[in-house]
Structure 1
Amino acid sequence: MSSQSNSPSQKIWRKFKKNKLAFSGMVFILLMMLMGIAGYLITPDQTPYANSMHLQLSNKKPGRSFEFLIISRNPKVEQVGVFEKMLYGQEANFKVIPITAYRKVGKTVFAREYIGDDEQSEEAEYPLVSGKNVYRQTFWLGTDMYGRDLLSRLILGIRVSLSVGLMAVLISLFIGISSGAIAGYFGGKVDAGISWLMNVIWSLPSLLLVIAISFALGKGFWQIFIAVGLSTWVDVARLVRGQVLALKEVEFVEAAKALGFSTPRIIIKHILPNIAGPILVVASANFASAIILESGLSFLGFGAQPPMPSWGGMIKEHYGYIIMDAAYLAVLPGVAIMLTVYAFNLLAIGLRDAFDVKSQNVTV
Structure 2
Amino acid sequence: MANVFARSKSIDVISVNKQFGSFTALNGISLKIEPGEFVCFLGPSGCGKTTLLRMLAGLEAVSSGTIKFGVRDVTRVPALNRDVGIVFQSYALFPNLTVRQNIEYGLVSQKVAREDRRNKVDELVELVRLEAAVNKYPHQISGGQQQRVALARALAINPSILLLDEPLSALDANVRGHLRLQLKELHRRIGLTTIMVTHDQEEAMVLADKVVIMNAGVIEQVGRPQDIYYQPSSQFVANFVGSMNMLEVEVTSPRLGRIGPWQLNLGCVGDGRVGDRLRVCFRPEDGLISSDGIGENILAGVLIEHEFIGPVVRCHVQVDGVEKPLVVTAPVGPTTLDKFNSGALLTFHVPADRMIVLPVA
TM-score, scaled to structure 2: 0.22
Q: Point out the structure with max Rg over C-alpha.
A: 1
Q: Which has the higher strand share?
A: 2
Structure with greater contact order relative to length (CA < 8 Å, sep ≥ 6): 1
